[in-house]
Structure 1
Amino acid sequence: MEDFFNIAVPIVTIFVALPWLFLHYMTKWKQAPKITHEDEQLLDELHLLARRLEDRLNTVERIVAADNPDFKPSLSQPEWRPEGRLGRTDYSLDRRN
């Protein structure tokens, strides 16, 4: 009887349990909500708005820094610069010196 379990358990695991587990999560993955075209457009608009606001802030900081040599910019994070690629705006990281 022990030999039967030593052979049956791996066979059942390989041919029943693993495919069932794979197909179960494949079904869950396909049922997951997907981003709609409208959501993608909204995200693109929000991203462009954030870029414009950041550009305005950088402009204001440059103007203030030109008037006041003791001024330190509030943004200590890296500055993002657009680079065109494949017809879409792509942003790459440009570290401030």
Structure 2
Amino acid sequence: MDVQAKIKETVSANRVVLFMKGSPKFPQCKFSNVATQILDACGAKFVAIDVLQDMDIREGIKQYANWPTIPQLYVDGEFIGGADIMRSMYQSGELQTLLAKA
């Protein structure tokens, strides 16, 4: 299975997916840390994919969403954004509404 198909399968099979550097318990960059804190504050159950464990996914995810940075949040198969977008959506209450549906 090619990396794009693998990513598509992951975001389709799980309602909330965060592609990040490290794990929720041990984030490896400040933006991944912020992203997991926001999701935790929303009480979201999510699947975390550590891009540092797989270079194909690390590069492939950037092409998948046409978005150059990690972390990347997907809800119901749709690309939402990175840490800055998550932060502004959280502050406006939009992210909580989106996650409540998920």
TM-score of the two chains, using structure 1 as the length reference:
0.21
Larger RCO: Structure 1 or Structure 2 (Cα < 8 Å, ≥ 6 residues apart)? 2
**Higher helix fraction (1 or 2):** 1
Greater Rg over alpha carbons, structure:
1
TM (norm. structure 2) is 0.20
